[in-house]
Chain A
Amino acid sequence: MEQDKQLKAILFNSADGVSSMFTDAVMKKVKELPDASLQDQPLISPQLQKVFVFIFSVVVAAILGLCLIITVSDSHIGTLIQSVELPDLLLNKVLTFIFIFWFVFTINALFKKKVLSRKASNFKMH
C-alpha cells in the first residue's frame, strides 16, 4: 500500500503543472460549439410521445380484453359484439393507420438504439 502511494506520487509529479489557462481554454472552445451538437431536437415532444404510448396501451388492452371476453364469456355476449355494425372502410383505415404507425415507431426505436450503441462502442479501443 505504501508503495502504491509512492508510485501515485511519482506519477503525479511526472508531468509539469497544468497551465492556469487550461479551464478557460476548454470553456472557450465549449462555448464556441454550435448548440445543435449538444442536443438532438426530438421529432415529437416527450409529452406527446407519452400520450401516444398511453393510447397504444389502451387500444392493445381493449383488443386483448375483447378477445378474452369473446373466448370465455357466454355465447350471447359474443353474438352481441358481433352484431355491432361498424363501417368497414373506416375500421380498416383506423386499424391500418395504427398498425403502420407503431410498426414504423418500433423500427425507428430499434434503429436508434443500434446507432447509439455503435457510437458508444467507438470509444472502445481495439
Chain B
Amino acid sequence: MTNQKEHTIINEILAGDASAFAGFVNRYKDRAVILAYNILLNQEDAEEVAQDAFVKAYSSLQTFRADAQFSTWLYRIVVNRALNKRKLKKYDRVEITESVSMELHSDIDDIASLQITGEHRKYIQHALQFLSVNERLCITLYYLNELSVEEVHQLTGITTSHIKVLLFRGRKNLYAVLHRHLKSEIRNLI
C-alpha cells in the first residue's frame, strides 16, 4: 500500500467511513501484535495492547501528519502502550541461569541453514527471554518491521550508535540460545 493510497484511505475515514479502517487493521495487525509481544512476552497482553493501539490510532487520526507513514506512527503507539503496560504490570524478570556462548560465527551459519517455522515457536519464545527489552525492541523494529536505524531512533529515542550495539548483541544472543535449542535439528540436517 503506497503512502498516497494510505492517505486516501485516511481521508475516507476522517470523512466518516469507519469501515475503511479495517484494511489498516488487517494489514498491520500481525506486526503490531509481534512488536507488542516482544516487549511483553505475553500473547494475551500483546493482543490487548495492539487492539488499544489501533483504537488510539483511529481516534487520533486527525492529528496524523500527511508527510508521515501510518505504519511508523502506529508502531510508536504500540511501543508506548506496551512499555506502559510493562511498567504497570511489573513483569517478572526471567532468571537467566544458562550462560550464553560468545563464539557464535558457526552458530549463526548453522541457524541460517535451518528452515525456521512455527513449530520452533516455543524455542524462539524461550530464546527471546534472554534478550533485554531494548534488544528485543530494536531487532523487532529493524528486522521485522523493516524500519531504518534512524527511524528506530526517532521512535524509541535510543541513540543510533546504541541501536547498532543492541542489534549486534541481540542478534548474537538470540542465535546463541536458539543454537542450543535447535542443536539436534541442525545435527540432523548435517
Contacts and interface: CB of A to CB of B under 8 A. Distances in A.
B61 A38 contact: yes
A15 to B, nearest CB: 4
Interface string B142-156: 011000000000111
A101 B9 CA distance: 36
A14 B116 CA distance: 10
A33 interface: yes
B29 A23 contact: yes
Nearest to B144: A11
A119 B140 CA distance: 26
Contact of B19 (A3, A27, A123): A27
B76 A26 contact: no
B163 interface: no
From DSSP, what is the main secondary structure of chain A's interface residues?
helix
A74 interface: no
Interface residues of B, number: 55
A6 interface: yes
A13 B120 CA distance: 8
Given A23-B22, A30-B55, A38-B14, A12 B144 contact: yes
B12 to A, nearest CB: 12
B139 A19 contact: no
Given A16-B43, A38-B14, A38-B58, A3 B112 contact: yes
A48 interface: no
Size class of the contact patch on chain A: 35 or more
Contacts of A30: 18, 21, 54-55, 58
B112 A2 contact: yes
Given A2-B112, A10-B124, A38 B34 contact: no
Interface string A32-48: 01000111100000000
Given A11-B34, A26-B55, A39-B62, 11 more contacts: A2-B112, A6-B112, A9-B116, A13-B120, A14-B34, A23-B26, A27-B25, A30-B21, A33-B58, A33-B59, A38-B13
21 contacts: A3-B108, A3-B112, A7-B143, A8-B143, A8-B144, A9-B116, A11-B124, A12-B34, A13-B117, A13-B118, A13-B120, A13-B121, A14-B34, A14-B125, A15-B37, A15-B43, A22-B29, A30-B21, A39-B62, A40-B62, A120-B65
Question: Which 4 pairs show the lowest CB-CB distances between chains A and B?
Answer: A15-B37, A11-B144, A125-B157, A9-B116
